[in-house]
Amino acid sequence: MSLSKIPRILFEDQEILVCHKPSGVPAQTNRIGTPDLVSILKNHLRKESRSPYLALIHRLDQPVEGLMVFAKTPRSAKELSRQLTTSGFGKYYLAVAVGVPSEAEADLTDYLVKDARSNTSHICSKDTPQAKIAKLHYKVLAAGTTADGSSCSLLKIHLDTGRHHQIRVQFSGHGTPLYGDGKYGNNEKAVRKSLALCACHLRFKHPATGRIMDFQIKPDTGAFKLFSKNIS
């Protein structure tokens, strides 16, 4: 994506900006020559201000598409960060997993540790140094078979904590890696495709007015087409 192409903006006022991050675009990066979402949006905001303020409140992995909210003032950044750390955010995802989880609906609770050198995380024991608890709730919406013959399932996920690569690591660790996950997947055919993970629903309070802000999108990633009739 070039800096001249603006991602779809769903809402913008003087305090916040909500947009649909495309798959493949990093939220923020220090890599020279690689456009990231913060740079793209700041370029858009320069129409209003020579030195626009834009705070990154939460992240999505580069291959993940979906909803993100940014703060346009320090006051809003502080309030949105407070909501994020006190479970005031509602973050929901759609995912396509390789295989079908053993339970149709369940909570997953694990401890994860990050390896900064490889930029990966893995499930570990509670007493592992720097281990952090990871919680999510999922529900299987449908099951099917991909064009390459892989068994798969459509999942709705509510993220309770926001750990590094959390959804990808937990489902891989429990035997149902996400379709298209080249980092944590174990299906050779599936990992050649786009990662089927979308931040589809975001809910929070407007940092200035207190109004409930609720946004929903449908994923663009290819594997979701198999379940188009199951995605409202």
Helix (H, G, I), strand (E, B) or coil at 80: helix
Q: What is the pLDDT of residues 71-118, one digit of tens each?
A: 999 999 999 999 998 877 899 999 999 999 999 999 999 999 999 999
pTM, to two decimals: 0.90
> Which value, in Å, is the radius of gyration of the alpha carbons in the chain?
18
Q: What does the buried/exposed string (b/e) look like for 147-158 if buried means 16 or more CB atoms within 10 Å of the residue's CB? A: eeebebbbbbbe
- Which DSSP helix (H) or strand (E) runs through 96? strand 90-98
Q: Which amino acid is at 131?
A: A
**How wide is the angle at C-alpha 40 spanned by C-alphas 206 and 61, nearest 5°?**
75
- Contact between 140 and 105 (Cβ < 8 Å): yes
Average pLDDT of the chain is 90
- Banded pLDDT at 228 (limits 50, 70, 90): confident
Count Cα neighbours of 130 within 13 Å in the Cβ-side half-sphere. Answer: 8
Q: What is the pLDDT of residues 113-160, one digit of tens each?
A: 999 999 999 999 999 999 999 999 999 999 998 777 879 999 999 999
CA pair distance 161, 14, nearest whole angstrom? 28
Q: What is the pLDDT of residues 2-47, one digit of tens each?
A: 444 678 999 999 999 999 999 988 888 766 667 889 999 998 898 8
- Contact between 67 and 215 (Cβ < 8 Å): yes
For residue 206, pLDDT beyond 90: yes
Q: Which amino acid is at 93?
A: Y
pLDDT for res 168: 96
